[in-house]
Amino acid sequence: MKNKRYSLLTGAGSLRMRMLWSFVISILVGLLVSLVTPRFTEVYYVNLLVVLVSFILPFFFTFFFLTRHIIRYVSEMASGLDTIAQGQLDYRVMVKRKDELGDIALNINAMAEKLETQIGRERQMEKAKLELITGVSHDLRTPLTSIIGYLDLLKDKAYQDLKEHDRFVSNTYNKALQLKQLIDDLFAYTRLASNEVSAEMERIDLRELLVQLLVELEPIAKENQLRLEMNIHEAPLVREADPEMIRRAIDNLLMNALKFSVRPGVIRITLLHSDDHMELSIENKGMPITKEQASRLFDRFYKADDARTFQRIQSGSGLGLSIARSIVELHSGALQFHHQDGHFTFSIILPL
């Protein structure tokens, strides 16, 4: 407290006090010089002029001498602002004082940092938009090219018999379904990413929803030499949620495990809950991935390795995990991921 008062009185922590002291000292110096200045004449006006000159000159010299550091620092800040205005947002003004000018320097640096962060974010968003367009173009072009190719064959009757004709029609239909799924995923992702969609909450039994999904998935799992191992609590698990969204998030994670599991293999589904939250874990054994691949799994359109996709299961858009995470976060939850030596675990954690 004593140091604070001392700083305030001496002007070390207050620009106003420093300027006031500079003004007072300058006046005292001017008065002192004017008092000791000899008078060369008895003429009143001449003596008055001598007194004024002997006061004003020392006053201004003393005042400028005492305030030169302040003026120099103001010039430095002005130069720093000009540098930042020219686009060098990583430039920072030196904080040399602890008074109001020091506060201004801190605010200038904070402004530059916010601008740098904001512009960096905008550049990242612009890059993401370009990646989105590239990803959409690539993923939509592949099935569309196949559809056009099969339709050309059918139009030109370039098939040997009815069996081959039916195969062309079936392949065209499957590619059309894949194209529709890609468009649906893209539409869902853009709406979730832009916060244009809101969850239509209603009380649902998450346990019952999960069991229904697993019943639908079991025949596909058996067909692909996979076994579903379930550890699900018997009691109902009721929570406010959007049933369609939660269903899609869980289905995306189950299909991800189905696509990238080694054959034959096991997919473990565990549903646990406590008084304040529930946790759904989906575990599978797949081909190991690198740390960089693991860090990018939730990036849109990212596929760690398309070669790992089982041939009977259609390759996805690369948006499934991003959509699942956005849905879970929309429900105030978290989607966690852990990978070690090819063992994958995705966990949905939702508050109850």
Question: Does 312 score more than 60 pLDDT?
Answer: no
- Cβ atoms within 10 Å of 341's Cβ, excluding its own: 6
Question: Mean pLDDT across the stretch 116-129?
Answer: 81
Q: For residue 42, what pLDDT is reported?
A: 65
3-class secondary structure, 75: helix
Q: Does residue 1 belong to any structural domain of this protein?
A: no
Question: Mean pLDDT across the stretch 283-302?
Answer: 76
Q: Are residue 250 and residue 140 in the same domain, yes or no?
A: no
Q: Are residue 232 and residue 149 in the same domain, yes or no?
A: no
Q: Are residue 221 and residue 321 in the same domain, yes or no?
A: yes
Q: Are residue 111 and residue 139 in the same domain, yes or no?
A: no
CATH number at residue 239: 3.30.565.10
CA–CA distance, 149 with 42 (Å, rounded to integer): 115
Domain extent for 162: 129-194
CATH number at residue 37: 1.10.287
CA–CA distance, 318 with 287 (Å, rounded to integer): 17
Q: Does residue 3 belong to any structural domain of this protein?
A: no
Q: Are residue 224 and residue 309 in the same domain, yes or no?
A: yes
Positive or negative: CA dihedral 293, 296, 298, 303: negative
Q: For residue 7, what pLDDT is reported?
A: 54
pLDDT tens, residue by residue, 178-205: 888 778 877 777 777 776 677 788 888 8
Q: Are residue 78 and residue 139 in the same domain, yes or no?
A: no
Q: Are residue 164 and residue 206 in the same domain, yes or no?
A: no
**Cβ proximity of 335 and 297 under 8 Å:** no
> How many residues belong to the chain?
352
User: What separation in angstroms does the CA of 212 have from each of 218, 247, 250, 314, 350?
Assistant: 10, 10, 11, 22, 19
Total count of domains within the chain: 3
Q: Are residue 331 and residue 207 in the same domain, yes or no?
A: yes
Q: Does residue 308 belong to any structural domain of this protein?
A: yes
Mean pLDDT of the chain: 80
Q: For residue 307, what pLDDT is reported?
A: 40
Q: Are residue 61 and residue 179 in the same domain, yes or no?
A: no
Of residues 327 and 38, the one with the higher pLDDT is 327
CATH number at residue 181: 1.10.287.130
Highest mean pLDDT among 9-23, 53-67, 205-219: 205-219
Could you tell me which of 342, 323, 332 has the C-alpha nearest to residue 250? 323
**Cβ proximity of 189 and 327 under 8 Å:** no
Q: Are residue 82 and residue 29 in the same domain, yes or no?
A: yes
Q: Does residue 4 belong to any structural domain of this protein?
A: no
